[in-house]
Structure 1
Amino acid sequence: MKTYTALCIILSALIVQKTIATTSPLTPYTSYQFSIELEHNIADLWWTVDENRQEITFELHIKTTGWIALGISPAFRHFVLLRIIAGGMKGADIGLGWIDSTGQVHFQDRYAHDFARPVIDNTTTDWSAIKGREQNGWTAIQFKRFLDTCDSMDVPIKSGTNILIYAYDLEDPDMSQTGGMIKYHENRRGSRIIPLQSYGNPSPEKKFVDLDYFEFKLQNYVVPANDTTYHCKVYKAPTNFPQRRHAIAHKTMIDSNNRDIVHHLLMYECDPTAVFDDNNLPNGLCDDINEQIIACSSNIATGWAVGGEDIVDLPEITGYPVGGDFEIKYYMVQMHYDNPKLMPNRRDSSGIRFYLGKELRQYDLGYLSLTAFATPVAIAIPPKVDRFIIDTYCPAVITKSFPQSGITVVGAFPHTHLQGQSVWTKIIRNKKAVEYLFNAEAYDFNYQFENILPKPIKLYPGDELATRCVYRTTNKNEISL
């Protein structure tokens, strides 16, 4: 097992935010950093994070003339199955609103003690409406709350992954009863898991249909009937591009028949000095071919895991180089299959595709990995521990080759294996911790994302980087490596 914090690096201080397609016929009240279609032609959400005020503003549109609700749900880890039970009512912090017959917006701060009707939070009111309207059969409400309200009946919106739940009804609450009686929403509900503070805003695939692309895919690989399988395969970089090109987006292609067993995909850059027989590239169980793939096991270029977005756009001023004189000539793709039912004869053709822009962008994008290798002197986690910390340090000698003007970090892909609970990296400058490079305070192995930083961060020659990974092994009876 390896633990990584992979960082997208470009020589620029600019990042472009964009809005993806939504289906609401109503125009949002303002422009936002992020948006997502929660449910096609039913529910859309926009939001902006104000770091200075530590506040988040939402705008929720749902196709109904009754009440609508958005909640932040805690995660409950089921240790027998090693799964996150996400999007549940119990413990959820909920904002619920509606528009009455006079056009006035109403909004309530509610809390779900259990799998039952959420009660009004009488401790403090932390969700507050800004404005709202009902039009063309849709309800739209703009509202806000602090990221951390310090209220025991609220769920903090932490950096890293967040669990959103939403629901709606066809009627407004019955205001003849105290606080307003809300009817059970039945199946008018849903959930999404996304990093609210660092969402990547993926574009629809139709944006890339007329672009060249290359892909690395398995071909009918027979997945072993084992609980867990790690398969590794080395691919040669495309050779049909004599001039350098820029990949501007990539799509993870999970075989539609195997969504239930493909857990994650990681793509590594092989060392530029690596030499392989192109007619017999390493391909097999990762442990079995470990010695053959050592040169391809250090630097993660990108990845996907359950819950993540299939399409990832790169910032509009940068592209990942390929072809021509680019030094990386081989890549390795690691596939993790999770097959607890030990199903035999499952064949998989999953992989990853890169879309190439028609013109070179202003800057090349590269990747830096901060890692601890899984050896007894690096990662050896005892069982039955609630919080086990592993620290790694990148000294100044590593960054001394950075340009004097610095390099700019725009995104991060944190990755640990099952027991990981949080991952962060701090910048140490002149022997002082100056800021987080990235902080996945609420890390979830089952929902891994390429995170766009709220603002680009500069690294300079002589900077040092301290990375901490926190693990929990209360469900384990043996040491974890």
Structure 2
Amino acid sequence: MIFYQISTLIIVVLLNCLHEVVSRSPTPTESFGHSVILDTAGKIVLHWNFNASHITFEVHGNTRGWVGIGFSENGNMIGADIIVGWVKNGIGHLKDHHGTVRNEFPPLDAKQNVQLLASSEAEGWTVLKFQRLLDTCDKDDRILTADTTRVIFAYGNSDPQENDITRSNYHGSSRGSKSVVFMDTPSNAAKQRPQNEQHQTFDLLNDNVTLSSTESYNCRLLKIPDSDSKFHVVKVEPVIQPGNEHNIRRFVLYLCSEFLDAPTAVNMSAQCADPNTPDFFYCTTIIFAWAVGGGPIVFPMNTGFPLGGAGISKYALLETHYVNPGAAQGIVDSSGLRFTYTRQLRQYDSGLLDVGMGIAPAEQIIPPGAVSYKSYGECSASCLKQSLKEDNKTSINIFSVLLRGGKLAKRLSLNHIRNGSELEPVAMDNGYDFNYQETRFLHQEKVVKSGDSLQMVCDYNSMTRTNITQGGENANQEVCFSYVYYYPQIRLAKCTTIPEFSTLMRSLNVTSVRANVPNPTTLYDFVDSEATQSIGETLDQKNWTDVLRQQLEEISKNALRSQACEGNDYFPENIDGEVSPPVITKSYKAPQKNCTQVPQPAVPAGLPPSATAAKTTTAAAPETPRTTTVSPSTTSGGVRTSIRRTTLWTTLLAALSLCFI
């Protein structure tokens, strides 16, 4: 009896701890610069490295069956590039498939452009390591670029019976998608800091904010800790209250004016536009921003953002964009931002520039029914040149960019113009995802010189809208700008333009405009003196043809601009309030790849020595320990085999020891 009681107790403990062991993703076969958990349960983990021509993936699936990942334009299987693999009888298998014009079983590619490097199956996990060209020049494959890619994934509980998956291997609900930027700087760059640099942290957080409406902007005035002397912020990251991840769209931190000497609203929370909090209106200079889907902002080792000390305000305003789609009751939040800083000042002070189109509810108009409609906004050459001159600088170095668009935005680009010629874009994303707004760290810093200008171009698809869409920060409005991190710091912080309002109205045959409310902000607050309804209502009822949409886009692009050129308590001299859009005499053309001779997948320079598998897509597992394909009888998964060969006591005690590894 005692034997069975002890045995039962050991089995209960064993099952609990084996669950922990099995749920742990295996150690990757090499040091990968990038990793992402694709599903909420942590059952599919993707690691990758890349160079100029190839990308190496290692996918870990919490299954003894098949695992598939794919690269998609919109998060479904239509037109996707799909790779499926499994390990059977100690042998790894990998197949290259593609999605068709419908969500149906993906056929096998005529050309297999993936190379299996290693595989294993142990402790409930299947590991597949493989490689492919970034651009295979195959119509059934997708080119992997610096754009946001929707990675789709699926898995099954058993291996295919044949030499490939069939319709009988349907994944059911074991599938999903996640947006990823493959060509980003390594995620382990966050660990790179100057030797012997000492760090401290502080948090700027909300304080029990109740989410009472479907969408809100909460602001809280805070004093920056330890700000009597200067320090450098070297990392900024979100601190999101568990359970509220889906309620937070964005954090923006504004540095307050030095004129805000003795604020009365410190630690006070209110709606950002609340007229009863006048202290808030002294805080208008953006110094940090984080948006949904983004990770930490890590500054290069030679620069940090300066705070504290003489000449820098000790107060900041934290703006949080909350969403609560179902107006659920009882949601309270205390999320915010965490700052890592050092007193050991780095070589350069860094800065942030708000660049592109200003927030313009009346001046940014996107007509409905457009497959493609572009908006433009600039940081003018005159503004940049004068600001650099007044701060005794000749150029700035851009090291990261957060591109911002709304739900309709599909392609964003921050263009660089010098002497009428477009240079390579500073940053661009042809697969923009409103729910994945990552700060992009440039592989090579962009030098912006005196006389250069920057132009933000946003391409929207408004096929889902029946009325016009206006500019603004609310969920159904649109924006077109970017937050640009750079060094050395200049006082300029906001460099934006908007099309001149009267020009737009004349193009829409509105000749006489008057406001019908005391403080007009949108086109629904203005009326044409010759009409009985608002301008917004008139435009909603307009028959928007492709010709009319194109005409409005061209007029908005070429119209005289109203510009904002300013910093925190700083306004450059001799800057006109109006400016012409940049004249571009030579457009940038990306280098074209010649696909007549495409190299086959091969182990490129810089990839690990383990990448030596045969060029076929079915390869035996290598013999090295870290990439061995493990049969169940040689791991903890082989307990059943051991039971047949040892006593029950020995087996239970041996298995229990796994919990303490």
Which of residues 346, 354, 374 is equivalent to 1:389? 374
Paired residue for 2:36?
36
Q: 1 CA distance for matches of 2:285 and 2:228?
A: 27
Shift of 1:33: 4.2
Instruction: Name whichever structure is richer in strand by fraction.
Output: 1
Q: CA contact under 8 A between 2:251 and 2:290: conserved in structure 1?
A: yes
Paired residue for 1:302?
289
Q: CA contact under 8 A between 2:201 and 2:341: conserved in structure 1?
A: yes
Paired residue for 2:146?
159
Paired residue for 2:66?
67
Paired residue for 2:346?
361
SS in 2 for 1:398: helix
Q: 2 CA distance for matches of 1:187 and 1:362?
A: 52
SS in 2 for 1:59: strand
Residue 313, structure 1, aligned to residue 298, structure 2: yes
Q: 1 CA distance for matches of 2:216 and 2:466?
A: 19
Residue 174, structure 1, aligned to residue 174, structure 2: no
Paired residue for 1:17?
none
Residue 192 of structure 1 aligns with an amino acid whose one-letter code is K
Residue 216, structure 1, aligned to residue 204, structure 2: yes
Paired residue for 1:287?
273
Q: 2 CA distance for matches of 1:436 and 1:471?
A: 19
Paired residue for 1:142?
130
Q: 2 CA distance for matches of 1:258 and 1:104?
A: 41
Q: CA contact under 8 A between 2:230 and 2:343: conserved in structure 1?
A: no
SS in 2 for 1:466: strand
Residue 322, structure 1, aligned to residue 310, structure 2: no
Which of residues 165, 178, 183 is equivalent to 1:192? 178
Paired residue for 2:426?
437
Q: Deviations over 1:276-331 (max 9, x none)?
A: 642225742233349764553453522122x333x443334432222224624332
Paired residue for 2:573?
none
SS in 2 for 1:427: strand
SS in 2 for 1:268: strand
Q: Deviations over 1:388-437 (max 9, x none)?
A: 22212222233331776743211111122333332211111222111100
Q: 2 CA distance for matches of 1:434 and 1:260?
A: 38
Larger deviation, residues 33-42 vs 317-326: 33-42
Q: 1:386 to 1:116 in 2, by over 3 A?
A: closer
Which of residues 56, 71, 96 is equivalent to 2:84? 96
Q: 1:391 to 1:103 in 2, by over 3 A?
A: same
Equivalences for residues 332-481 of structure 1 within 5 A: 332-357=317-342, 359-375=344-360, 378-400=363-385, 401=388, 406-474=395-463, 475-481=465-471
Shift of 1:370: 0.2
Larger deviation, residues 196-205 vs 335-344: 196-205
Q: CA contact under 8 A between 1:161 and 1:195: conserved in structure 2?
A: yes
Q: 1 CA distance for matches of 2:145 and 2:335?
A: 32
Larger deviation, residues 385-394 vs 210-219: 210-219
Shift of 1:32: 4.7
Root mean square deviation of aligned Cα: 3.5
Q: 1:233 to 1:378 in 2, by over 3 A?
A: farther
Paired residue for 1:58?
57
Q: 1:113 to 1:385 in 2, by over 3 A?
A: closer
Q: 1:219 to 1:376 in 2, by over 3 A?
A: closer
Shift of 1:104: 5.7
Q: CA contact under 8 A between 1:148 and 1:156: conserved in structure 2?
A: yes
Q: 1:301 to 1:104 in 2, by over 3 A?
A: closer
SS in 2 for 1:436: coil
SS in 1 for 2:274: coil
Q: 1:23 to 1:323 in 2, by over 3 A?
A: farther
Q: 1:441 to 1:456 in 2, by over 3 A?
A: same
The runs of 5 or more residues in structure 1 that have no matched partner are 1-21, 76-86
Paired residue for 1:251?
237
TM-score normalised per structure 2: 0.58
SS in 2 for 1:288: coil
SS in 1 for 2:169: coil
Q: 2 CA distance for matches of 1:386 and 1:408?
A: 35
Q: Deviations over 1:245-281 (max 9, x none)?
A: 22222221222243332222222334x4452642225
Residue 471 of structure 1 aligns with an amino acid whose one-letter code is Y
TM-score normalised per structure 1: 0.77
Q: 2 CA distance for matches of 1:269 and 1:110?
A: 50
Paired residue for 1:129?
115
Residue 264, structure 1, aligned to residue 250, structure 2: yes
Q: CA contact under 8 A between 2:263 and 2:279: conserved in structure 1?
A: no
Paired residue for 1:10?
none
Residue 249 of structure 2 aligns with an amino acid whose one-letter code is H
Q: 1:27 to 1:198 in 2, by over 3 A?
A: same
SS in 2 for 1:399: helix
Paired residue for 1:48?
49
Q: 2 CA distance for matches of 1:444 and 1:26?
A: 29
SS in 2 for 1:256: coil
Paired residue for 2:525?
none
Q: CA contact under 8 A between 2:179 and 2:433: conserved in structure 1?
A: no
Q: 1:292 to 1:359 in 2, by over 3 A?
A: closer
Q: CA contact under 8 A between 2:362 and 2:470: conserved in structure 1?
A: no
SS in 2 for 1:315: coil
Residue 260 of structure 1 aligns with an amino acid whose one-letter code is H
SS in 2 for 1:260: helix
Residue 237 of structure 1 aligns with an amino acid whose one-letter code is I
Q: CA contact under 8 A between 1:111 and 1:120: conserved in structure 2?
A: no
Q: 2 CA distance for matches of 1:157 and 1:480?
A: 33
Larger deviation, residues 414-423 vs 129-138: 129-138
Higher relative contact order (CA 8 A, sep 6+): 1
Residue 440 of structure 2 aligns with an amino acid whose one-letter code is N
Q: 1:388 to 1:46 in 2, by over 3 A?
A: same
Q: 1 CA distance for matches of 2:466 and 2:166?
A: 46
Q: 1 CA distance for matches of 2:227 and 2:312?
A: 13
Shift of 1:37: 4.2
Residue 321 of structure 2 aligns with an amino acid whose one-letter code is H
Residue 233 of structure 2 aligns with an amino acid whose one-letter code is A
Q: CA contact under 8 A between 1:110 and 1:120: conserved in structure 2?
A: yes
Q: 1:404 to 1:183 in 2, by over 3 A?
A: same
Shift of 1:59: 2.9
Q: CA contact under 8 A between 1:265 and 1:334: conserved in structure 2?
A: yes
Shift of 1:105: 4.6
Q: Deviations over 1:204-232 (max 9, x none)?
A: 99x9xx9532222221222233x322223
SS in 2 for 1:397: helix
Shift of 1:376: 5.6
